[in-house]
Structure 1
Amino acid sequence: MNQAKPFCIPKLEVVEAYERVKANKGAAGVDGQSIEEFESNLKDNLYKLWNRMSSGSYFPPPVMRVEIPKGDGRMRPLGIPTVS
């Protein structure tokens, strides 16, 4: 018997989301994984991410908080997410 996933998430949307993350050229998050490391097994990583999301078992990891300087000398908090 072929059981349907509880959430209908097109695989193309996961690929497009990954492409937006890559285009952002951000730093690695709390897991330390860079875009390059994620890409070393891209097809499998995107499939695993899609599978967890569509089955309802995906919970995003915490965001890494850093502070960046503003033009007036104060600091601005910034949240850096993980790739997956």
Structure 2
Amino acid sequence: MSQLKSSTKPFEISKWEVKEAWEEVKANKGAPGVDGQSVDDFEKDLKGNL
């Protein structure tokens, strides 16, 4: 029988780190990821996404 995994993250990611990563992707004109979401689509709800 399998055990349930904890719903907590195994590590912390600060909002600052997410923002920094976003700025790098935008600067590089990053291609859509596995979810197919483009930079333009992501920016439509930037506050909600960051």
Bucket of the pairwise TM-score, normalised by the shorter protein: 0.5 to 0.7
Q: Which has the higher strand share?
A: 1
- Note the residue ranges of structure 1 that are not aligned, 5 or more in a row: 47-84
Q: Which has the higher helix share?
A: 2
Equivalenced residues, count: 43
* 2:25 counterpart letter in structure 1: V
Q: Give the RMSD, CA atoms, in angstroms.
A: 2.2
Q: Which runs of 4 or more aligned residues in structure 1 lie more than 6 Å from their structure 2 counterparts after TM superposition?
A: none
| Sequence identity percentage | 69
**TM-score normalised by L of structure 1:** 0.42
Q: Looking at CA atoms only, which structure, 1 or 2, has the larger radius of gyration?
A: 1
For structure 2, the residue ranges without an aligned partner over 5 or more in a row are 1-8
Cα pair distance change 1:22/1:8, threshold 3 Å: same
